Structures are given as C-alpha cells and as structure tokens.
A and B are shown apart, each in its own frame.
Chain A
C-alpha cells in the first residue's frame, strides 16, 4: 500500500513539473543560460504560490492584485537571461521553443516584432475547449531572452486586469480571434 502511495506521489510530482519541462524540449533554455552573463530563474509551483500568497500584503495594491491573479494558478516559471553581446542565441534556438508551442492547444495571440530595436514579444495562450489553461510569453532582444510560463487558468481578461500593476499596462487582446495577431514593425 505504501509502495502504491509512493508511485502515485511520484506520478503526481512528475505531472506537476511536466508543464515547465515539456515546453523546453532539448533543454534550449538551459543551453542559453550557460551562455548568459546574468540569469534570473523563478520557479514557483502551486504549493509555493500558495505559500507566497499568505505573505502578500492585501493593503498593497500590487500585492493585493497578485493575490487575486495567483489564486488558481498552478505555477509561474520565469527565465530571464542577459548576454554580454548580441548573437549569443540564434533563431534556431528559438524555433525549438516555438515548435513546442505549435501544438493545437496553443494559440499565439500577440506577436510583436520590432526591426528597429530588435525587441520581439510573442504571447501564447493554451486553451482546452473554452477554458484557458496557461500563458507563455517569449520576449527577445539582441542581448536579452525572457521566457515566462504561467500554468493555470489565466485568461486574456486577467492580463487586462493586470493593467496598472507591476508596471503592466492595460493590454487589449481581442479574445474572439486568438489565431495570432502578428505584426512586424
């Protein structure tokens, strides 16, 4: 009976970590991190989010908003890398990540590409039927790479509700056409 419990526990743990791992096939982020001069990794699973939530100050507007956002989240994983010089990562490195997001449950809703300053931002939402189940943000600059994986029921409305908090502006996302609004500037 104990063995069965241990097996079930391991399977559940594997399931919980699967979201973050599946979206980095071949360990692209790990490879890039090895070349980075500065890395920020935030890995908060559901239990850590609950734990952190207990310490958020409801009187602070940012923290009160954060408490609402993470109430049903399963995990927030952020990998932010800075490089000393441009060219430390290639389009090929990024395509491995994008390929993982080509699965039907993922929809690219925002794709901003700036040829002027090289700032590119892609936002993907994961949908299961009518339910939103996650968000991936992939932002690249010549010397920066940021990968944000928010697992859980985050909707475009939630992103809009973030407006005015954490320096996040009010983003208007047309939910009816989530098939990619890519724009090259």
Chain B
C-alpha cells in the first residue's frame, strides 16, 4: 500500500513548466483570435465594395422588371386568346342561326313562292 502511495506521489508531484511555456501559450491564443475566412463567407467579402452592392441591386431590379413584363405579356396573351375564342364562338352561333334562316328562305324559293 505504501508503495502504491509512493508511486502516486511521484507521478503527481508538482513540476514547474518549462522555460517560456506561458509566453508560448499566450502567443498561440493571440494568433487564433483572427479567424481565417471560412469558405461559407467568401461571397460576403466579395460584396464588400459599394459598387458591387449597387450592381447587385440593379441586376435584381432589372431581372424583376423583365420577369414582371414577361408575366404581364403572357397574361395578356391568355386574355387575348380567350377573347378571340369568345368572338369566334359568337360569330359561329350567329352563323348557325343565319344558316337556319337561309335554309328556310331557300326552301321557300324552291317551293316557288314569289316572296322570300
């Protein structure tokens, strides 16, 4: 038992750090205070300049305007095509009824009546 205690005491005895240990630790800590740019943040650095930020805003505005114009054009086209279909339907319905009238008038003609 005493032998074990002796071995423990020997192993856990106070030992002074080597010369310059504290300075080296402080120097290492100081060097880690300036983190390296991580890959996820590279683009934030790219927009660091004001010109680039304005260019990005302008590009976004232009793309929004173009998208809006294209959407409006497509919507107009859909409405126009629908209006055209309605017009053709109206003319076909009118035509079919005129056909009935014409057919009746032709039948009257062929039956030899003087007035149509």
Contact = CB atoms under 8 A, between A and B. Distances in A.
A80 to B, nearest CB: 5
> Interface SS of chain A: helix, strand, loop or mixed?
mixed
A169 B95 CA distance: 8
Given A69-B91, A146-B93, A56 B84 contact: yes
A64 interface: no
The listed residue with most A CB atoms (<10 A of its CB), out of B77, B86, B98, is B98
> Interface SS of chain B: helix, strand, loop or mixed?
helix
Given A42-B89, A70-B87, A137 B98 contact: yes
A111 to B, nearest CB: 9
Interface stretch (B8-16, B23-31, B64-72, B99-107): B99-107
A176 to B, nearest CB: 13
Contact of B90 (A63, A78, A171, A183): A78
A40 B89 CA distance: 9
A146 B100 CA distance: 12
Interface string B70-84: 000000010111011
Contacts, number: 119
Interface size class of B (residues with CB under 8 A): 20 to 34
24 contacts: A42-B86, A42-B93, A44-B83, A52-B80, A52-B84, A52-B86, A54-B80, A63-B88, A66-B91, A76-B87, A76-B90, A119-B100, A119-B104, A123-B98, A123-B101, A137-B97, A139-B97, A148-B93, A148-B94, A168-B91, A168-B98, A169-B102, A183-B108, A185-B104
Rank and list the top 5 A-B pairs by shortest CB-CB distance, nearest first: A168-B95, A52-B83, A166-B95, A55-B80, A139-B97
Interface of B: 77, 79-81, 83-84, 86-105, 107-108, 113, 115-116
